[in-house]
Amino acid sequence: MLKVKFITDSSSDLPKSTAEELGVDVLPLGISFGNESYLDGADITAEAFYAKLRNCTELPKTSQLNRFAFEEALTPYRGTDVTLVLLLIGAEMSSTYSAAQEAVRSLGMEEQVILFDTGLVTFALAALVTEGMRIAESAKSKAELEENLTRMRDRIRLYAYIDDLKYLRYGGRLSAASMRIAKVLRIHPVVTLDKKVEVISKQIGKAKCVHFIIDKIKEEADLFHPLYFGNSDCREEADAFEKRVLADVPGCHADPKMHDIGPTVGTHAGPGCFGVVFIAKQ
């Protein structure tokens, strides 16, 4: 049986209880509000982060993991029979991935480590970690595990509703004119992941956004796998969305843990964002 150890970073927003249950190590990214610096998930919670975000006039800054953080995490396993699986934030969203590559090379651990660009972040990355742990249970070799993880990565879909456009505006992802028009017309974006967060649709009102997302689940999801739900400091709305999906999509079931979107994505999505991740049909 293949011995494996999964390592991710805090941008995955993997619930702490899930990480402990699965034995996954979560390396914290940094977040700073002016002169105040924190480690995501270690000394600032999602709730505390959004409390600060709501009161800021300038977006906080996130910082990637460096090579030395990875060397420290990997060194205890060097030369053992454990295969290390590093599932990290996508390379186009952070230099964390390249820092991990440098660490693996500097330690000479290429044959012991599985590392590829996930192209994912937040609870889409958490879903890959969770599904990956299941895949690892039956893997007979490192090559087989890497191949199956890569196939799973390519099937992961995320769709989410953005409530407050102010944070997209702060981050330069929305012009002042577009924001004014959107507010007047009550237009809200639905976002997805394509190596980075992208707007896939613009809908008038929350209800139409929810309808759009549910249609995507019906069209694309492999309902053998659970649906993963996440939110940015709007648990009540996210719970209502989950109940609506479970009622409207026959045969689906949810992962039992609600994922709290943390600073890496929450900085730009703002509070009030909720959505779903699922595994697409092959």
Say whether both 236 and 163 belong to one domain.
Answer: yes
What would the mean pLDDT of 136-143 be, rounded to a whole number? 95
What would the mean pLDDT of 56-69 be, rounded to a whole number? 90
pLDDT higher than 60, residue 154: yes
What would the mean pLDDT of 234-248 be, rounded to a whole number? 98
Is residue 244 a part of any domain in this protein? Answer: yes
Is residue 205 a part of any domain in this protein? Answer: yes
What would the mean pLDDT of 90-103 be, rounded to a whole number? 96
Query: pLDDT per residue over 102-116, tens digit each?
Result: 999 999 999 999 999
**Which pLDDT value is given to residue 195?**
84
**Which pLDDT value is given to residue 171?**
52
Is residue 186 a part of any domain in this protein? Answer: yes
Q: How many domains does the chain have?
A: 2
Is residue 182 a part of any domain in this protein? Answer: yes
Is residue 53 a part of any domain in this protein? Answer: no
pLDDT higher than 80, residue 185: no
pLDDT higher than 80, residue 67: yes
**Which pLDDT value is given to residue 170?**
55
**Which pLDDT value is given to residue 179?**
47
Say whether both 81 and 112 belong to one domain.
Answer: yes
Task: Give dist(CA 229, CA 238) in Å, integer.
Answer: 8
Say whether both 162 and 174 belong to one domain.
Answer: yes
Task: Give dist(CA 117, CA 98) in Å, integer.
Answer: 9
Counting residues of the chain whose pLDDT is more than 70, the rounded percentage is: 92
Query: pLDDT per residue over 3-60, tens digit each?
Result: 999 999 999 999 999 999 999 999 999 999 988 999 998 888 889 999 999 888 788 9
Say whether both 205 and 72 belong to one domain.
Answer: no
What would the mean pLDDT of 92-100 be, rounded to a whole number? 95
**Which pLDDT value is given to residue 1?**
79
pTM for the structure as a whole:
0.93
Q: What is the CATH number of the domain that holds 146?
A: 3.40.50.10440
Say whether both 264 and 163 belong to one domain.
Answer: yes
Q: What is the CATH number of the domain that holds 200?
A: 3.30.1180.10
Task: Give dist(CA 20, CA 35) in Å, integer.
Answer: 32
Of 136, 153, 170, the domain-final residue? 153
**Which pLDDT value is given to residue 83?**
98
**Which pLDDT value is given to residue 19?**
96
Residue of 246, 229, 238, 243 whose CA lies nearest to 272: 238
pLDDT higher than 50, residue 182: no
Task: Give dist(CA 196, CA 92) in Å, integer.
Answer: 7
Residue 199 — very low, low, confident or very high, per pLDDT cuts 50/70/90? confident
Query: pLDDT per residue over 208-227, tens digit each?
Result: 999 999 999 999 999 999 99
Per DSSP, the residues of the chain read --EEEEEEEGGG---HHHHHHHT-EEEPPEEEETTEEEEBTTTB-HHHHHHHHHT-SS--EEE---HHHHHHHHGGGTTSSEEEEEE-S-TTT-THHHHHHHHHHHHT-TTTEEE------HHHHHHHHHHHHHHHTT--SHHHHHHHHHHHHTTEEEEEE---THHHHHTTSS-HHHHHHHHHHTEEEEEEESSSEEEEEEEESHHHHHHHHHHHHHHHB-TTSPBEEEESS-HHHHHHHHHHHHHHSTT--B-SSPEE--HHHHHHH-TT-EEEEEEBP-
Say whether both 21 and 136 belong to one domain.
Answer: yes
Is residue 184 a part of any domain in this protein? Answer: yes
Please give the residue range of the domain that contains residue 14: 3-29+64-153
pLDDT higher than 80, residue 180: no
Q: Which amino acid is at 205?
A: G
Of 153, 173, 197, the domain-final residue? 153
**Which pLDDT value is given to residue 201?**
87
What would the mean pLDDT of 150-167 be, rounded to a whole number? 89
Is residue 166 a part of any domain in this protein? Answer: yes
Task: Give dist(CA 168, CA 176) in Å, integer.
Answer: 10
Say whether both 125 and 160 belong to one domain.
Answer: no
**Which pLDDT value is given to residue 65?**
94
Of 131, 153, 175, the domain-final residue? 153
